[in-house]
Structure 1
């Protein structure tokens, strides 16, 4: 597996694991940390996702 694919896979796994957390069981500070981490990972994922070359724009 090439490095870019492996990094994308790892980001996806971390994001999936964060999404599975029961944030209702966490205190406010931890809940905010999880939400911040999730937002940052989603942002990075969008930035590093390869472009779909089938679209002309």
Structure 2
């Protein structure tokens, strides 16, 4: 959680650290997209959808403006 506060405070992270964080976000988003949400109850489905939306928004904010983040989300 400390890394999030560093980002919020405007600190610049080393390139390798930024890459690792972006990779982790991509992996979490990929794992969420692989979930069989039809087997979840409605509250858990809503949580998964909220998490996906948040990760997509964060990805758009943290990736360079070349549109690379738009390719991260894939619908099942």
TM-score bracket relative to the smaller structure:
0.7 to 0.9
Displacement of 1:9 after TM fit? 0.2
Partner of 1:38: 52
Where does structure 1 lack aligned partners over 5 or more consecutive residues? 53-57
Runs of at least 5 residues in structure 2 that lack an aligned partner in the other structure: 1-14, 67-76
Q: Deviations over 1:1-57 (max 9, x none)?
A: 7100000000000000000000000000000000000000000000000233xxxxx
Question: Structure 1 length normalisation: TM-score?
Answer: 0.86
CA-based RMSD: 1.2
Which has more radius of gyration? 1
Structure with the larger RCO, 1 or 2 (CA within 8 Å, 6+ apart): 1
Runs of 4+ in 1 over 4 A off after TM superposition: none
